[in-house]
Amino acid sequence: MRLLLAPMEGLLDHTLRDILTRVGGMDGCVSEFIRITGQLLPARVFTRIVPELRHGSRTPAGVLVRPQLLGSDPACMADNAAVLATLNPAGIDLNFGCPAKTVNQHRGGAVLLDEPELVGQIVAAVRRAVPAAIPVSAKMRLGNQCDTRTLECAQAIDEAGASELVVHARTRAHGYRPPAYWERVRDVRQAVTLPVIANGEIWSVQDALRCREVTGCDTLMIGRGMVRNPGLALAIVAADRSAMGLAPGLPGIAWADLLPLITDFWRLIARHVEPRHRSGRLKQWLNYLRRHYPEAEQVFTELRLTNDPARIALWLAAQPIPANEPALPS
């Protein structure tokens, strides 16, 4: 089983990608989307959003990162993809799944799934614009308001030359409400020739194993489940190896081992986030972590009303960090 870290706009940026891929278990990542409108973006915009491009398109832990583009104009998408290709990305992913109202109102993301022909044109234009050695993949939902055109969109992406397709097993109208309709991902997999990756509602090892069973997909993409439980990928890999009769490896990550990474996360955001926004970034992650770690609930309660970076830094400095923890990479 291969596991990929999902793009999550406003949450899973390069900082959190760095931290989560240090934990282990992930085989690759897709970045948050880079919005393509009517202009040609300079290379510095791509490297600002995906700084891993400066380091072989890998996180500091060595996990490949595939930048993601979002837009609706095939020619403009192709031109920007050509610029991005000069930075030697691990691949280029195309967003047909974002459910955000502001994005959809500007004809981007999941709303494009009402236009399978346009979806295919975008993929084909990008595929033609970049060297054959650079994979072009796509991520889609089951549809916009309904899933009646799911297979049309998937087949358009396939026929346009994409190398992989991630399917988030919900429509835009479903948002993030459970359940995820994994059986529809199976339908997509059976209707196309390219590899299909299942995404949606994978919160536990049991979810991952059942998703693979229902969809038939050997590669899964996980987003919120990894943010909530950074050891989830390790636990899934351990269960998968055990089922194959191999040494299972680590079952996850304990709070004591996660705490140094939370401290490193704070140090990293202090490098590029304004002081008034830093506490919000940390509490955003703690709000997810407290669903899995009781200790995080206590920390979140203690720091919830705090917006003073100095106080948070003092609190983190007082935590019992193991003496043999590696130094934060530069």
Q: How many CB atoms lie within 10 A of CB 1?
A: 18
H or E, element range at 171: none
Residue 197 near residue 220, CB atoms below 8 Å: yes
Cα–Cα distance for residue pair 302/304, rounded to 1 Å: 6
In DSSP terms, 14 is beta-bridged to none
CA-atom Rg of the chain in angstroms: 20
Longest CA–CA span in the chain (Å) reads: 57
Assigned token pair, 87: 């930075």
DSSP per-residue codes, 7-27: PBTTTB-HHHHHHHHHHS---
Catalytic residue list: 98
